[in-house]
Structures are given as C-alpha cells and as structure tokens.
Amino acid sequence: MNPKRILFDTDPGIDDALAILLALASPEIKIEGISVVHGNCSVDQALTNTLSVLELAKAAQIPVSRGFELPLVQPSLLAPETHGDNGLGYAQLPAPQTRPVHQHGVEFLIEKIMSAPGEITLVCIGPLTNLAVAIRKEPRIVQAVRDVIIMGGAIRHEGNTTPQAEFNVYVDPHAAHVVFHSGMPMTLVPLDVTYQCALTGQDVARLQKIKSPIPTFIADSTRFYMEFHDEYQKIDGCIINDPLALALTFAPELCDYEEHFIDVDISGGVSMGNTFADFYKMTKKPANMKVALGVRARDFIELFLERMEKLSLSLFGA
C-alpha cells in the first residue's frame, strides 16, 4: 500500500520534534514537507530546530518552509519555561547545514495541497496561524486537502496555558476560529487524550539502552520537559501531545472519536481560547469535526518506543 502523504505545520518544540521522528520511523507515511510556525519558540528558532532534527535523522531532503512569526491578533506568546530557550530543552544539536525553501509557509502549504488534490493529510501541531491565512488566501484548499489532524484544544479537560485554554489554540485563538469554521475535514486531538500519554523516565531509560544519537536527543530534550511537568503540573514524566496526533494518521484505532460542533471563544475575556463541544446540539449547528475523547495510552507509548528503537538501530546500527 502506498504511504499516506503528510505535511506538518509545527512549532518545534520538544514534542513536535518527537512527532517528526515518529513520522520518519513510520513506513505507513511519507513527509512531503514541513511548514514552521511561532509557538513553543520563535519561528526562526523553530525553523533551525526543524532543520537540525531532520539532519539528525538523516532526512535533510525533506523541504522546510518558514511561516508566521506572530499570531493574527494576539501579542506573541512563546513557551521557554516548557521547551527551553532553544526550544529543545537540554538537547544541543549542531547548527543545520540545510536551508529552508524560499516560499513562505503559507504559499508552501497551498502549493503542496493544490498540487495533489485529495492526497495530502495535514498534521497541525502548533498554533494555527499558517493554516488560517492559507485558507483565506486559497479557499480551495478546504476541498483539496484529504484530511487535517489538529493537536489542540481542551474539551472536558482543563487548560494547560490558562485554566480554560490549551496552548496552540490560546496562542492564536482567531486562527483557530478561522480553521474550526472552515469546513475542512478535521480531527481534533485535545488535551483530553494527550494528557493520558506521559513518556516516563523509565521509558527513556529503555531507549537509552541503544547507544545512538536519537535516544541521546530524546533523553536530553525530554529531561527539560519532564522538569517542567513536575514543577508546574506535578506530572511524572512528560506529555507527548504531538506524537499522538501524528500516530493517528496511521493508527487511528488508538483513539475513540465523537463528531460534534466545536467552537473556540474569541470574545477576549477570561475564557479566551477556550474550546468547547456542543454535546447536546443546543446550537443546532452541524458537527464540524471529529474529536478524539478516548485513547489507549500505553498502546500508543509502546508504539512510540518501539519505533524510536527501530529508527535508532536503522540509522546508527546496533
């Protein structure tokens, strides 16, 4: 069976980097390209990190494009406390030798999707600024894209950035509003499922039995991320949000889904960026997306670990 063709829109970021590695370790999918967006760190730092992670995994041939550095309306909000000043925690990767493509991330997304109608799965694991502008600039991508997986939001779950809002949506709620109301075939992967997926120190120690730059990168980046989760949220381990969203492109059975009308609060008050589902159909509006509300968490973590082990051995030998 031909691999599923995917595009990332991402803000690497520690868990974003792990999602890119998982994609490279999964023969069921092929990364057609990566557009980068502000979020966990500046767009330029995220661009550097993307290029460096691809070089680490010997995948520098994958085209990367620089997208927006600011939200549509909100002021910039980055997350150095969560991902470190360099966006990859304690990991120190060599400066990349490869260069991004000349196109802006928005043009890159539009061109890739329009050149292969019905073929491209878009995996959005950062703030949605790039996708929102792409929809406004070329509305035909709504019909041309095969499907869209979005890591973002919190439905019944508390927020991780404000008490009511998840980071990707809170950073650019206006962009999320454009995307949620676009009519694209979307699947939302909210904190309700990702917060059940913690990578633990034991999991990382298992990977480190393989002497290779990949486990070393995972250990160094997630050590910072685990310190954040312990200090701010008393969580043992670290929540790997973005790899779960990516995994659903080839293993959708890891989650259970419902279809609902889902919206995001952009009224600017205390619940700015809050995402909510119309469970009782009170708005009379049709469902606009599938939302993952159940997950087989340890099955997913096991899949992640197995594929990181295989990637480490395939790239750098036993």
- Shortest reach from residue 14's CB to ligand RIB, in Å: 7
Buried residues in 299-315 as b, exposed as e (16+ CB within 10 A):
ebbebbbebbbebbeeb
Query: How far is the CA of 96 from the CAs of 21, 59, 87, 99, 114, in angstroms?
Result: 16, 12, 15, 8, 29
Q: Rule CB under 6 A: which residues touch ligand RIB?
A: 11, 13, 15-16, 39-40, 125-126, 151, 160, 166-168, 241-242
Instruction: Give the residue with the Cβ less far from ligand RIB, 13 or 96.
Output: 13
Residue type, 206: R
Least Å distance, CB 143 to ligand RIB, is 26
C-beta of 38 vs 307, nearer to ligand RIB: 38
Between CA 220 and CA 91 the distance in angstroms is 5
Binds 160, which of Ca ion, ligand RIB, none (CB < 5 to 8 A, cut-off by type)? ligand RIB
State which H helix or E strand residue 81 sits in: helix 80-83
Question: Which parts of this chain interact with Ca ion (CB under 5 A)?
Answer: 11, 13, 16, 125-126, 242
243 binds, among Ca ion, ligand RIB, none (CB under 5 to 8 A by kind): none
Pick one of ligand RIB, Ca ion, none as the site partner of residue 166 (Cβ within 5 to 8 A by kind): ligand RIB
Cβ of residue 83: shortest distance to ligand RIB, in angstroms? Answer: 7
Min dist CB 242 to ligand RIB, Å, is 5
Between residues 80 and 117, which has the closer beta carbon with respect to ligand RIB?
Answer: 80
Peptide bond connecting 269 to the previous residue in cis, omega within 30 degrees of 0: no
Question: What does each C-alpha distance from 3 to 24, 121, 240, 311 come to in angstroms?
Answer: 12, 11, 24, 17
Token pair in block for residue 156: 């019944």
Residue 271 in contact with residue 165, Cβ under 8 Å? Answer: yes
Instruction: Name which of 10 and 103 has its Cβ closer to ligand RIB.
Output: 10
Q: Which is nearer to ligand RIB, 56 or 78 (CB)?
A: 78
